[in-house]
Amino acid sequence: MDPLALLPEILLAGAAVVGLLLGSHLPRRRQWLVAVLALVACVAGTGATAVVWFRADMAVFGGSYVVDVATNATRVTVLVAVVLVLGLAVGPLRGARREAEFVVLVLLSALGAVLLAGADDLLLLAASYLLASIPLYALAGFAKDAPGTEAALKFYLMGALPGVVVPAGVAVLLGVGGTTGYAGLSGGLDAAPRAAVAVGGVAVLAGLLFKAGAVPAHFWVPDVTEGARPVVAALVTTVPKIGAVVAVHRFITTPMASSPVDWGMLVAVIAAVTMTLGNLAAFFQDNVRRLLAYSTISQVGYLLVGVAAGRGDLALPGVLLYLLGYAVTNLGAFAVVCALPAAALRTDYRGLVRRRPWLAVSLVVLLLGLVGTPPTAVFAGKLLVFTAALDAGLGWLVVLAAVNTVASVFYYLRWIGPAVRGDATTRFTTDRWAEVTAYVTAGASVLLGVLTGPVLALVGP
């Protein structure tokens, strides 16, 4: 086995362990060294991924983990997301107690997300589910305040159910398929009883949908997003989704591909319900974090449109591109929220353009980016995902996604409106680091969209 193949995962895990040790020995004013360590690990991990990018797909760990373009793209996207989250965390956490612990938990949850995407075995999938979940429970309550504690409790309780259901599903599939490896299952479920496969598969999917924040496992999203710190909200609505969406795609196209249940259709229906419910709930939200929470739910719906397209030529590339675009854009929107800690309601943004014109411009670019306005990265993702779904015969789903996209304009504009109008009556105190992150993400969102060609060539068919 090539040790380079797993270097990004090793770096994340190593940085987490070293960070924890360092953190317990460093004085509080030097804790930032742990964040630097994490940053180095992310950069090195991205580099290591680049080195193995063009190698042939390979299965490692006795076939339980696969390194292919989907895993590599997830690694890069997650690592980029972690760097951005670290940027957002500087303001609120610099010199704070438990700064090192925060960084370590972020690294562990990122590792869990990457493993989810690469897992080629149900047991590893179940383990990564836990790794991707548990650090986030702790992070949700990190502030130790009432809303944070409530968020953490809700998050934990709602996560505990899938935490039990996933192993049960694994057991059922093991029972009917005779193995937990995807490679073995992909042929082994042909003759299995339909009901058992359906029950097992749905149970596993339930866990992944919980991580992705898709309906019907989405109830935690708004509460955690509003209750936890903004930087944590940015993390939990981005990083686990990346791994979970890729995992869903892998799950329905590899072990379940030949099973007697139409998983593509099931995911299509989930996608339809997810984007619609997310949008409807976002409509009249005045709290910007709740608004973003529901927006992330609807975004998962669009992502699942691409997943439902299954093995189509553009399906996986579209999803991977969309995930990168979504991660950057969504983190950017949260960066604006983090940059203005005092503004909780959309009306608090009134007159932002007068006081902080570039922050307002970034907000406009990022929110319109989430809508899917060209030439941003999410537009490119949506274009490909829609094309793949239409090609797969899911015309109804694409039409529904288009209608939902139009509807989503309404609530994003309800936020943009006050920000670009009104007089400069309010004073805005900003978090410098988050502000810079917002600029960077806004620029990256447009740049990625313009550079769709080369990026797509990397993940493309």
Which residues of the chain form contacts with another protein (CB under 8 A)? 314, 317, 353, 357, 368, 373-375, 379-380, 383-384, 386-387, 390-391, 398-399, 402-403, 405-406, 409-410, 413, 417, 420-421, 452-453, 456-457, 460-461
Q: Hey, what are 106's tokens?
A: 């972020």
- The least CB distance from residue 6 to another protein, in Å, is 29
Rg of the chain's alpha carbons, rounded to an integer? Answer: 21
Evaluate whether 217 touches 206 at the Cβ level (below 8 Å).
Answer: yes
- The least CB distance from residue 127 to another protein, in Å, is 35
Q: Hey, what are 33's tokens?
A: 């060294």
Q: Is 229 exposed, middle or buried (0-12, 13-18, 19+ CB in 10 A)?
A: buried
Closest to 69 (Cα-Cα) out of 57, 59, 51, 81: 57
- The least CB distance from residue 409 to another protein, in Å, is 6
d(CA 89, CA 79) in angstroms, rounded, equals 15
- The least CB distance from residue 419 to another protein, in Å, is 11
Q: Nearer to another protein by C-beta: 108 or 456?
A: 456
Q: Is 425 exposed, middle or buried (0-12, 13-18, 19+ CB in 10 A)?
A: exposed
Q: Nearer to another protein by C-beta: 128 or 452?
A: 452
Q: Nearer to another protein by C-beta: 14 or 375?
A: 375
d(CA 264, CA 272) in angstroms, rounded, equals 12
Q: Nearer to another protein by C-beta: 260 or 374?
A: 374
Q: For residues 355-386, b (16+ Cβ closer than 10 Å) or e, as one string? A: ebeebbbbbbbbbbbbbbbeebbbbbbbbbbb
Q: Nearer to another protein by C-beta: 304 or 420?
A: 420
Dihedral, CA atoms, 47, 51, 55, 58, nearest 10 degrees? -50
- The least CB distance from residue 376 to another protein, in Å, is 10
Contact partners, residue 57, CB within 8 Å, separation at least 6: 66, 67, 68, 69
Q: Nearer to another protein by C-beta: 47 or 461?
A: 461
- The least CB distance from residue 372 to another protein, in Å, is 9
- The least CB distance from residue 450 to another protein, in Å, is 9
Q: Nearer to another protein by C-beta: 7 or 394?
A: 394
